[in-house]
Amino acid sequence: MQLLNGKETAKVLLDSLEIDVAQRAATGKKVPHLAAILVGNNGASETYVASKVKACNEIGFVSTLIHFEEDVTELKLLEKIEELNEDMDVDGVLVQLPLPEHISEKKVIETIDPSKDVDGFHPVNIGKMTLGEKEAYVSATPYGIMLLLEHHKIETKGKHAVVIGRSHIVGRPMSILLSNNTNPGNCTVTLCHSKTTNLKEICLQADIIVAAIGIPEFVKADMVKEGAVVIDVGITRIKDATKKSGHRLVGDVDFKNVAPKTSFITPVPGGVGPMTIAALMKNTFKACDERN
């Protein structure tokens, strides 16, 4: 069993981006600028946005954080997005989800200029991703997983990948990316979800499992074939009295029992999570490069 260390891989990618940014700067070119919008005081959202801003700062991107109160009107938020769309200095625009209930996430996402949509949530980008078009901005978690597979030279062509979970943000795009005619890619892909009746039987056929259901330790050892590659997208905080903090983070995979059967597995934390940030930074760099 070998760990797919997302923390180390992300560092390699971010170091490489840092050099690319420095080269842009040295040749008088504009450096990437990411604008992030945060609404309200959701603790997790604040942490996520902070880590994105931190990553920008570390590799030489410009970042702008716009923080609205919980009760900001939808109109005001949309106006800010339009302002950022038109701001020639801004390359990437993201709005941290979830949003308060009085604001339509759909409207917000569709207001972002697709060419600045570094989160890859706009229907145009999802459509282009589905069509396998290279110009698409692919959302950060699935893109990060593809980068992790690529970095570790995991053979995917002709393999049977089973994706558990059909969320718009992870499961669905993973199922598409893994089956597109690309490398990584070219898998036979089975997409499973809450209505799947024989999940264990299907998982046992998988050469590659992507677990993205959000249920702690859902994937057990008896669901995994010997030698499979296991990608764990879940991250849930559960109580643990043996820890100083009183909790620990667990994924969607019963890591302790599953890991020994696998050829490669992502740890939680330190697997998919850090790759998400690296993927977002790569999207932002690309947005900057393409508009300048």
Residue 138 DSSP class: P
- Using CB under 8 A as the binding rule, whether residue 242 contacts a copy of itself is answered as no
Residue 221 DSSP class: G
Positions in 89-118 near a copy of itself (CB under 8 A): 106
Selected from 197, 241, 243, 245, the binder of a copy of itself by CB under 8 A is: 197
- Using CB under 8 A as the binding rule, whether residue 172 contacts a copy of itself is answered as yes
C-beta closer to a copy of itself: residue 197 or 242: 197
Selected from 42, 186, 257, 263, the binder of a copy of itself by CB under 8 A is: 186
Residue 34: enclosing H or E segment and its boundaries?
strand 33-39
CA distance 168 to 106: 12
Selected from 11, 29, 102, 157, the binder of a copy of itself by CB under 8 A is: 157
- Using CB under 8 A as the binding rule, whether residue 247 contacts a copy of itself is answered as no
* Torsion sign over Cα 287, 111, 130, 49: positive
Least CB distance from residue 243 to a copy of itself, whole Å? 37
DSSP string across 238-279: EE-TTSTTSEEEE-SB-HHHHGGG-SEE--SSSSHHHHHHHH
- Using CB under 8 A as the binding rule, whether residue 192 contacts a copy of itself is answered as yes
C-beta closer to a copy of itself: residue 146 or 176: 176
CA 78 to chain centre: 24
CA distance 254 to 238: 13
Which residues form the catalytic set?
Answer: 52, 96, 119
Nearest to 154 by CA among 287, 4, 8: 4
CA distance 228 to 226: 6
Annotated binding site for NADP(+): 165-167, 235
Of 5-13, 140-148, 173-181, 233-241, the segment contacting a copy of itself by CB under 8 A is 173-181
Least CB distance from residue 40 to a copy of itself, whole Å? 24
Task: Point out which residues bind a copy of itself (CB under 8 A).
Answer: 106, 122-128, 130-131, 133, 157-158, 160, 166, 168, 172, 175-176, 179-181, 186-193, 195-198, 202
